[in-house]
């Protein structure tokens, strides 16, 4: 009975976390395009490639974190946890803007759900 309940809980929270990771990846893609466009308008053409590269790496890491959460392994959990903690730090870089605050709220939600899944990954 307990194993069945844990499996159901893992499936529900895992699906919710995966959807939040995908939503966050799409949001950060939009935010990356906005940031790059804003930098070009301000005349920062030199640094736009570097910033754009790292923002797109962030989007890819968020997407793959969501994809890998299906696997019930410690390393996938640790990878997702590291990605979301780094993403929270990245969201703090632009906190006065509403878009970055929204990204920060989504990141914190993902972190809270990931923390609740810890016992399932570390049996």
pLDDT at 120 over 70: yes
Other beta carbons within 10 Å of 62: 27
SS (H, E, C) 75-90: HHHHHHHHHHHHHHHH
Lowest mean pLDDT among 2-16, 22-36, 40-54, 95-109: 2-16
Task: Say how many domains are in the chain.
Answer: 1
Q: What is the pLDDT of residues 77-95, one digit of tens each?
A: 899 999 999 999 988 887 7
Predicted local confidence at residue 82, as pLDDT:
94
Domain that holds residue 62: 2-121
Q: What is the pLDDT of residues 39-61, one digit of tens each?
A: 888 887 778 888 889 989 999 99
Quickly state the pLDDT bin for 6 (edges 50, 70, 90): low
């Amino acid at each position: 009975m307990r194993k069945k309940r844990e499996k159901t809980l893992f499936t529900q929270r895992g699906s919710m976390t995966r959807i939040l990771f995908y939503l966050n990846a799409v949001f950060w893609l939009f935010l990356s395009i906005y940031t790059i466009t804003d930098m070009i308008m301000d005349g920062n053409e030199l640094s736009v490639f570097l910033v754009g590269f790292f923002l797109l790496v962030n989007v890819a890491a968020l997407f793959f974190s969501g994809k890998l959460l299906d696997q019930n392994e410690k390393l996938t959990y640790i990878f997702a946890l590291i990605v979301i903690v780094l993403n929270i730090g990245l969201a703090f870089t632009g906190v006065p803007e509403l878009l970055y605050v929204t990204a920060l709220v989504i990141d914190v939600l993902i972190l809270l759900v990931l923390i609740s899944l810890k016992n399932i990954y570390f049996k």
